[in-house]
Amino acid sequence: MSFYVTTPIYYVNGEPHLGHAYSTIAADILARHMRQRGEDVFFLTGTDEHGEPVAQEAEREGVTPRELGDRYAPRFKEMAAKIEASNDFFIRTTDQGHMDRVQEIVQRVHDNGHVYEGVYEGWYCPRCADFKTESELGPGNTCPIHQIPLTRETETNWFFRLSSFQEDLERLYAKRPDFVQPDFRRNEALAFIRQGLQDVSLSRPRLKWGVPVPWDTDQVIYVWFDALLNYVTALAYAREGEDLTGRFWPAFHILGKDILKFHAVYWPAFLIAAGIEVPKGMFIHGYLLMEGHKMSKSLGNVLDPDEVIAKFGADALRYYCFREVSFGQDGQISPAGFEARYETELANEFGNLANRALAMTERYRDGQAPEAELDPAIAADFEGAPDRVRELLDEARLTQALEEIWKLVRRLNQYVEETRPWDLAKEDGEADSLDQVLYTLAEGLRVTTLLLHPYMPETTGRLLDALGEPSRELAELGSQEGGRRIERIPPLFPKLEAEPAA
Ligand SMILES: [Zn+2]
């Protein structure tokens, strides 16, 4: 089976921030998890470099749009590397390979009879690069997203006959109830479709920065179609001399709620018009909000991803984003909240569990996992856990899956407290019991750490090496026998240093 996951491509009109990182980490967790399951995975991210938002910013900065792209695209590439994204390709919409294929597909939509020339009049937001319908307008004819006054614009351009796809889309949504997740986003998209679809501009006449319309090179293709098509075009040229389309398409898209309409309505309609299979599905996430939070002792009052990564590592940031806010919903994050979870969950619960398991095996069994039977109590509690996580991640429910995994972490900590291996070690005649506890603990920790691996690849990789587990595939409890070498390693999540006294 193949699995193709994408992030939105990011505008190169500013620095990457936590919102971009959030989408990318989500896609990365899914990509890594699917690789663990032995799926044939392709993970795509990249930059959207055409259109008005980029042209305007370039003008403000006195550079060409191309120069702006060349400045910021590497910043987004660096961000991906910094947050440990394992993307297989990084697309830039200024790639010739992309632009050629955009023209081909748009020409096909035209030749299939879904494009006509017309006059458009409406409220236009240059920062969204989108016309707003009357029902979308904010008070005083403003953009509800950017809160800027909009201008009424009239232009002659090429239109995509979106209105003629209303029934196709309603059928698609009826046939595939999970096409858009979570459900409340699906309902939002469906309500938009049912209120009646209007045709949309396929080109912009006044803008020079973009992919030329193949049959009318005075116009450029509207940036949204250019951008959406990246998901398809990348597969055709990401690997030299090889077209990956048949192997990986259709994709599963991760995106934020602000671009729902383009992905859930325009995009499948445009694909149908081009004779291309619609996406496998999409998951729409909410926003991480930082409002009215308390100061924290080490991070001040803003959760700056670069600072968090420098001080605590990318894994801690990855964990926190999906632990603190239920993926799909909006939610508050804060430096204080980050520190609390770092200390109580990563350092105390998981880090300490790992440390105890490794240290006790070293102290009592000379660093060798004992040969023993699993403790049936733990075996029962772990029963089916990897399957539950798989099912949740099949639906991109990243927070619920993490919650399932964390139950295992807590269960193992409880197990250590219940069995008190340090007492067993002191008593004669308890050697078998101690073997069983240490073996069960090593196995439980191995299985749990494998499940956590997509969320925190670097620290879990170190721990799996220490546990003598060379594979990263998901495993059932008891699938590894005792006898392997276990090593002690420094704490995975070192405790915060106390602030020096003033
Ligand atoms: Zn706007």
Write the pLDDT tens digit of every residue in 20-79: 999 999 999 999 999 999 999 999 999 999 998 899 899 999 999 999 999 999 999 999
Q: How many CB atoms lie within 10 A of CB 86?
A: 16
Give the distance (Å) from ligand 1 centre to CA of residue 144: 7
What confidence score (pLDDT) does residue 296 get? 67
What confidence score (pLDDT) does residue 127 get? 85
Is 426 a known active-site residue?
Answer: no
Question: Out of 50, 98, 114, 143, which one is annotated catalytic?
Answer: 143
What confidence score (pLDDT) does residue 298 get? 73
Question: Out of 33, 98, 110, 128, which one is annotated catalytic?
Answer: 128
Give the distance (Å) from ligand 1 centre to CA of residue 62: 23
Question: Out of 50, 98, 110, 125, which one is annotated catalytic?
Answer: 125
Give the distance (Å) from ligand 1 centre to CA of residue 142: 8
CA atoms within 13 A on the CB side of 375: 24
DSSP for 118-186, written as a single string: EEEEEEEETTTTEEE-GGG-BTTTB-TTT--B-EEEEEEEEEE-GGGGHHHHHHHHHH-TTSEESHHHH
Give the distance (Å) from ligand 1 centre to CA of residue 470: 49
Which ranges constitute the DSSP H helices of 262-349?
267-274, 305-312, 314-324, 335-341
Two tokens, residue 329: 């919903």
Give the distance (Å) from ligand 1 centre to CA of residue 258: 10
CB contact burial 53-80 (16+ within 10 A = b; e otherwise) = bbbbbbeeeeeebeebbeebbeebbebb
Residue 69's identity, in one-letter code, is G
3-class SS of residue 433: helix
Is 114 a known active-site residue?
Answer: no
Question: Out of 20, 77, 98, 114, which one is annotated catalytic?
Answer: 20
Is 125 a known active-site residue?
Answer: yes
- Chain-centre distance of CA 218, in angstroms? 37
CA-to-CA separations, 338 to 21, 345, 496, 500, in angstroms, rounded: 16, 10, 12, 21
Give the largest CA-CA distance in the chain.
90
- CA pair distance 484, 497, nearest whole angstrom: 34
- Where the chain has pLDDT below 50, the residues are 502
Give the distance (Å) from ligand 1 centre to CA of residue 269: 23
Give the distance (Å) from ligand 1 centre to CA of residue 91: 25
Give the distance (Å) from ligand 1 centre to CA of residue 128: 4
What confidence score (pLDDT) does residue 502 get? 46
CB of 434 closer than 8 Å to CB of 425: yes
Question: Out of 17, 311, 426, 495, which one is annotated catalytic?
Answer: 17
Is 321 a known active-site residue?
Answer: no
Radius of gyration of the chain (CA): 26
Give the distance (Å) from ligand 1 centre to CA of residue 446: 48
